[in-house]
Amino acid sequence: MNNDIILPIARERGNASISFYRRLLVAYLIDQGVNSVPRIMGATGFPRRRVQELILSLADMDIDVEFQGAPKNGRYVVLNWASIDKQWIHDNLDMVEEILGITVKINT
């Protein structure tokens, strides 16, 4: 009789994985009308510089984002999601929040 105990392996997420989910979340928030740096900061608790870097890094995922309007009262708009399915983000928002260890507050 085999007395070995088999335990599930907990999958730890690396920095690249966390960064990927942060970028997905930021693109999703922009698409949902949480579309300025201060609004994204308020919804996520991320610091200003991180939000700015995440917005810039969306281009690395081929997500096209454009800033429209004046610097003080403009907004970001997602022009093209490339191969990303934004519905998947919506459907899995709870999982994304859990992975990032945050609760998103969307007040558009």
* 90-104 residue pLDDT tens: 999 999 999 999 999
Please give the model's pTM, rounded to 2 decimal places. 0.84
Residues 52 and 50: their CA atoms lie apart, in Å, by 5
Q: Which CATH number fits domain 15-100: 1.10.10.10, 1.10.940.10, 1.10.1270.20, 1.10.8.50?
A: 1.10.10.10
Annotated domain spans of the chain: 15-100
61 vs 45: CA distance, rounded Å:
23
- What confidence tens digit (pLDDT) does each residue in 64-93 have? 999 999 988 899 999 999 999 999 999 999
